[in-house]
Amino acid sequence: MEVVLSGDDYSGELAAQYGWINRAIADATLDTFVGDLARRIAKFPASGLRAIKTSIANISLPDEHAIRADGAKFLELMNTEEAKSRRAARDERYPEDARAEWEMNYGRIIGEL
């Protein structure tokens, strides 16, 4: 609940501790790691890779109806008077040329609006 409701950003290290990712990799080594991994995976049989991807999708992805319902709920909530009021407060406090600060600190700022 903390994660979903707080709007906080989380570091790669904390994401790894929470099990959201399998590891955090330093920027300096990321390109090499990804390149090496991609080359290794590319050597596997394509049919096996497709089967694995399909299995994972079948187990972990919500169905189309759940995705559509979630999207509809989001749009509904974005059109409430409270959401409109917060967007207006954001626009007043952070004009277009200052949006980068707002976007980088959204989780903290949204509660202040």
Select from 5, 1, 3, 2 the least CA-distant residue to 111: 5
11 in a structural domain? no
Q: How far is CA 93 from CA 78, 90, 96, in A?
A: 19, 5, 10
Note whether residue 3 is domain-resident: no
Domain membership flag for residue 47: no
Domain assignment of residue 73, yes or no: yes
Question: Domain for residue 99, yes or no?
Answer: yes
Span 19-72, pLDDT tens digits? 999 988 999 999 999 999 999 999 999 999 999 999 999 999 999 999 999 999
How many structural domains is the chain composed of? 1
pLDDT for the residue numbered 97: 83
Domain that holds residue 70: 63-113
- Residue 42: inside a domain: no
First to last CA, the chain: 22
10 domain residue, yes or no: no
Residue 54 placed within a domain? no
Task: Quote the pLDDT of residue 83.
Answer: 92
* pTM for the whole structure: 0.58
Please tell me the predicted confidence (pLDDT) of residue 100.
83
